[in-house]
Amino acid sequence: MCFMPGTETPSIVITWFIFYAIKYPDVQARLHRQLDDVIGHTNRLPAISDRRNIPYLEAFIAEVQRIVSDTPLAVPHSTTRDTSLAGFLSRGTRPCFLNLWAIHHNPDYWTDPFCFRPERFLDEQGRFHVEGILPFSLGKRSCPGESFAKKAVFLYAARLLYRFKFESPPGAILPGRGDSEYGGIVLDCKPFKICAIERRDTIISEKGRAWTKQ
């Protein structure tokens, strides 16, 4: 049962990251610069070991997960002790839902919660720090696929951005705020058209051999 959530939600997050890379080309350009600085013109693709050296990509992924909140409500829980929340809840209350979307858009915690700003997850030295988001829920019943999902999303995002620049085709328009997602247990992005343009710098072939696009 853990396999589907561990593969479905990462694929949805990857779709959203392409969406926001197109929506904010200046952010995408900064991601390209950092990937080039770290990986350079080598004969390899980004690896998990590069995560600490690509903090802006980590911040970008965290901001996508925050603003999208692809799983807006965590799986149902039950109270195990007498608890008071606005005068409600007692031991054995079920189901109790953790509203992840509300947490990720709480204006008392986030400055401009509906503004897409990866920089909110970088400190003054440009290092990645994450707090306040719960894309994999919380506690003993948090998502068991969290470690796999984080690695999968990072690798896909880093390798796709290293090789391609994403744009909207001429005349195509990205869905706007409020009509860009399907509602449900998981918020999936509505279909949109893209152009995946091979970057002019050194590109890694399928066999791992470096070559330059003419």
Other CB atoms within a 10 A radius of the CB of residue 93 amount to 15
Backbone angles phi, psi at 188, to 5 degrees: -90, 150
What is the spatial distance between Cα 73 and Cα 183, in angstroms, rounded to a whole number? Answer: 12
Which residues, other chains included, contact 8 with Cβ-Cβ below 8 Å and sequence gap of 6+? 186
User: Among 200, 171, 204, which Cα is nearest to 43's?
Assistant: 204
143 has binding-site annotation: yes
Backbone angles phi, psi at 89, to 5 degrees: 80, 135
Q: Are 160 and 187 in contact (CB under 8 A)?
A: no
Cα 188–Cα 70–Cα 170 angle in degrees, nearest 5: 45
DSSP state of 109: T
Known binding-site residue numbers for heme:
143
Residue ranges for the binding site? 143
